[in-house]
Amino acid sequence: MAGSSNPFELIDEGQGRYRLEGELSFATAGEALKKTLAVFKDAPVLSFDLAGIMRVDSAGVALLVEWIRRAAQAGTQLRYIHLPQHVKAIARVSGIEHLIAAGLPEAID
């Protein structure tokens, strides 16, 4: 949605590392998906740092799952860094914690 106070931003930090800022919500999920589509091409490993994400709702959590799905299709290992606790809680309540946990560095051996 135009005029959102916390639009989504994808900042390329190089070597497959991206910093996400703003919000992952109904208002920004479509834009966020469009901005990230190209990053899954030819990337063996991607890291999405969510420290700059100020708000996440159920659409944002669904987007995290979609990114995991797209990474799997592309043969890319996706890691979520600094995943907010409330996102983990939403995933737990929704019964998809195992999907989100697959993208956390501590879950990767």
Angle at which helices 29-36 and 58-74 cross, to 10°: 20
Is the pLDDT at 106 greater than 80? The verdict is no
Q: What is the pLDDT of residue 94?
A: 86
Q: What is the pLDDT of residue 63?
A: 96
Tens digits of residue pLDDT in 16-72: 999 999 999 999 999 999 999 999 988 899 999 999 999 999 999 999 999 999 999
pTM, rounded to two decimals:
0.86
Q: How many residues comprise the chain?
A: 109
Q: What are the structural domains of the chain? A: 14-107 (3.30.750.24)
Quick one: tokens of 28? 């920004």
Q: Is 2 exposed, middle or buried (0-12, 13-18, 19+ CB in 10 A)?
A: exposed
Specify whether the CB–CB gap between 52 and 20 falls below 8 A: yes
d(CA 104, CA 88): 11
d(CA 79, CA 107): 9
